[in-house]
Amino acid sequence: MKRTGLILAAGRGTRAGGGLPKQYRMLAGEPILRHSIRAILASTRIDTVRVVIHPDDIDHYNQCISGITDTRLQPPVYGADTRSASALNGLRACTGDLVFIHDGARPLLPLNALERVIDALETNRAAFLALPVTDALWQVDGKNATTAQPRDTLWRGQTPQAFHLNDILAAHVAADHAADDDVALARLTGLDVVAVLGSELNMKVTQPEDFALAERLLGSTMDIRVGNGFDVHKLGAGDHVVLCGIKIPFDRGLIGHSDADVGMHAITDAIFGAISAGDIGQWFPPSDIQWKGAASDIFLKKAVEVAVSKGFNISNIDCTLICEQPKIGPHALAMRQALAAITGVALDRISVKATTSEKLGFTGRGEGIAAQATATLVKT
Question: Strand order of the sheet with strand 312-322?
Answer: 253-255, 223-236, 368-379, 312-322, 350-355
Asked if residue 302 and residue 212 are part of one domain, the reply reads no
What residues make up the domain containing 194? Answer: 3-220
The helix/strand/coil state of 35 is helix
CATH number of the domain where residue 268 is located: 3.30.1330.50
Question: What percentage of the chain has pLDDT greater than the value 90?
Answer: 72
**pLDDT band for position 15 (50/70/90)?**
low
pLDDT of amino acid 146:
92
pLDDT of amino acid 194:
97
pTM for the structure as a whole: 0.61
The helix/strand/coil state of 304 is helix
- pLDDT tens digit string along 229-255? 999 999 999 899 999 999 999 999 888
- pLDDT tens digit string along 321-376? 999 899 999 999 999 999 999 998 889 999 999 999 989 999 889 899 999 999 99
- pLDDT tens digit string along 167-211? 999 999 998 777 788 999 999 999 999 999 999 999 999 888 888
3-state helix/strand/coil string of 163-201: EEHHHHHHHHHHCCCCCCCHHHHHHHCCCCCEEEECCCC
φ, ψ of residue 146 to 5 degrees: the values are -115, -60
| Whole-number Å distance between alpha carbons of 28 and 219 | 9
Q: Is there a contact between 140 and 148 (Cβ–Cβ < 8 Å)?
A: no
Length of the chain: 380
Helix then strand then coil, in percent of the chain rounded to 5, is 35, 30, 35
pLDDT of amino acid 379:
77
Asked if residue 297 and residue 169 are part of one domain, the reply reads no
Asked if residue 187 and residue 272 are part of one domain, the reply reads no
Asked if residue 277 and residue 154 are part of one domain, the reply reads no
- pLDDT tens digit string along 70-116? 999 999 999 998 899 999 999 999 999 999 999 999 999 999 999 99
Q: How many domains does the structure of the chain reveal? A: 2
Q: How far is CA 320 from CA 130, 225, 262, 295, in A?
A: 43, 19, 10, 20
Asked if residue 368 and residue 247 are part of one domain, the reply reads yes
pLDDT of amino acid 219:
67
